[in-house]
Amino acid sequence: MSGSLAADLPGLDLITDADVLDSLSHDDAEWAPAGRPVGAVRARTTEEVGTVVAACAARRIPVVARGAGTGLSGGANAVDGGLILDLSRMNRILEIDPDNMIAVVQPGVVNDDLKAAVAEHGLWYPPDPASAPWSTIGGNVATNAGGLCCLKYGVTRDYVLGLQAVVGGPAGPYGTAVRVGRRTTKGVAGYDLVGLLVGSEGTLGVVTEITLRLRPARTAAPRTVVGAFDSIVAAGNAVAACTRRGLLPTTLELLDQACLRAVEEWKHLGLSATAEALLLAQIDTPGEAGHDEADTLARVFQDAGAQWAERSTDEFEAEALFAARRLAYPAMERLGPVLTEDVCVPRSAVPAMLASIQAIAARHGVAIATIAHAGDGNLHPLIRTPAGDEAARRAAQEAFEEILTEAIALGGTVTGEHGVGLLKRAGIRQELEPPALSMMQALKRTLDPLDLFNPGKVVGI
């Protein structure tokens, strides 16, 4: 099969080396299963992507697109008999337009590289997942990634104006490139196909170009407020109190003691891990108003039961704390297998969800550390198990499913930003009403009648 497929891909290298294929066949969700692909291709242009998709469609070979492989749901994992389409070499910033505050990029551009490039023009691209130093814009688009700043500035979908994607079905033969969306600030011509493709996890086509909205760069460094709490639930109460007071910091992150210790043991940033939980907040309101807002936030932390809460006057300390937040997942991963959750609940329900996570951990006898974009209710419990302990692994999976059920019961969702992928397929069926799920499956059948693009993921027809 690989030899005949190679003949259909003139000028493209079909990778069949087993070790290379293994490295390309899975993302960072180590608990998600991965299939055995027939090969992989590293595309550089939309035309090459179109050629690959057309050849695979002719042979009914599934196509799974991937970027940097930093996903945490198995969304980019290979399927048996499929082809991996690696887009990491489509990494050009095609245009930066300061007058209209937009950028046009290929999907393999790394998030932080885009930030640095637009900063030279006095502009800012706000979406900032913790994986921003490594994750690609294409992967961020696939999962509608959020990040630390999304509390105030929104998620990836809020910044995608237009897309080019290689598709099939009603748009034309498989391999057809279609543009959707616009370059203007506003536009309501027809259905929102951009919004549909963002967050679809590569199940409707392969995105090859993205037009992004930018913002003016911030004129001053944000103020950092830190609160230390004697329990993770007390920190959750402070988050709910911030919501009640109508405060909207740029960032409001939670980091528990286990995560903080894991980062410190790994990176030696000079951080203390005496509190059970820290809340890290940033305020970017300029001038005296920002000063007052930061003081108010510190008082809210104190009134909610913080051991201490204060504005950080040490820029290096503030940077170290936020570095610890970004490094929390890989630091925990070093200690053993980690099953990562990504539930999101209404902000007022954060304390209840945190209490439920603690109860679930005790009930199943598993260790759960927690990090969170706490300000928008997006919690990432990290379920840790000893390597090779199958009983612990089963208990962790049971805890994982129970956390999903509890999040739904509190009015939340099974995934806030990591995507459904493979790990949350049962969860999405639990969350969605059958008519809504049927509508999604109908969209998949209509836009991808061959079930060629990332089959078995998300709604999994």
Distance (Å, whole) CA 158 – CA 207: 17
Of 327, 289, 295, nearest to 313 (Cα)? 295
Within 8 A by CB and 6+ apart from 268, the residues are: none
Average confidence score pLDDT of the chain: 95
**How far from 175 is each of 57, 92, 159, CA to CA, in Å?**
8, 21, 26
Counted residue by residue, the chain has a size of 461
Q: What are 103-161's pLDDT values in tens digits?
A: 999 999 999 999 999 999 999 999 999 999 999 999 999 999 999 999 999 999 999 99
Question: Which token pair is 274?
Answer: 């005496």
Pairing mode of beta strands 102-105, 93-97: antiparallel
Write down the pLDDT at residue 461. 62
Helices 287-303, 232-244: crossing angle, 10 deg rounding: 130
- 206: how many CB neighbours lie within 10 A of its CB? 28
Q: What are 361-401's pLDDT values in tens digits?
A: 999 999 999 999 999 999 999 999 998 899 999 999 999 99
Q: What are 296-319's pLDDT values in tens digits?
A: 999 999 999 999 999 887 778 888
Pairing mode of beta strands 83-86, 102-105: unpaired
Within 8 A by CB and 6+ apart from 210, the residues are: 104, 105, 106, 107, 137, 138, 141, 160, 162, 163, 164
Pairing mode of beta strands 63-66, 83-86: parallel
Question: Which token pair is 352?
Answer: 């209840």
Dihedral in degrees, nearest 10, Cα atoms 11, 12, 13, 15: -160
Pairing mode of beta strands 39-42, 83-86: parallel
Write down the pLDDT at residue 2. 55
Question: Which token pair is 96?
Answer: 């930066």
* Mean pLDDT, residues 91-107: 98
Dihedral in degrees, nearest 10, Cα atoms 169, 174, 176, 182: 40
Within 8 A by CB and 6+ apart from 391, the residues are: none
**How far from 364 is each of 258, 343, 384, CA to CA, in Å?**
18, 19, 12
Write down the pLDDT at residue 3. 60
Write down the pLDDT at residue 193. 98
Q: What are 49-79's pLDDT values in tens digits?
A: 999 999 999 999 999 999 999 999 999 999 9
Within 8 A by CB and 6+ apart from 18, the residues are: none
Write down the pLDDT at residue 223. 92
Alpha helices in 348-389 (DSSP H): 350-364
Strand order in the sheet with 160-167: 93-97, 102-105, 206-213, 160-167, 176-181
Q: What are 188-227's pLDDT values in tens digits?
A: 999 999 999 999 999 999 999 999 999 999 988 899 999 9
8 Å CB contact between 21 and 67: no
DSSP E strands: which ranges in 88-199? 93-97, 102-105, 123-124, 160-167, 176-181
Whether 320 shows a pLDDT value over 90: the answer reads no
8 Å CB contact between 34 and 52: no
Whether 445 shows a pLDDT value over 90: the answer reads yes
* Mean pLDDT, residues 271-280: 89
Q: What are 239-250's pLDDT values in tens digits?
A: 999 999 999 999
Phi and psi at 390, nearest 5°, equal: -70, -35
Q: What are 391-438's pLDDT values in tens digits?
A: 999 999 999 999 999 999 999 999 999 999 999 999 999 999 999 999
Read off the DSSP letter of residue 157. Answer: G
Write down the pLDDT at residue 314. 76
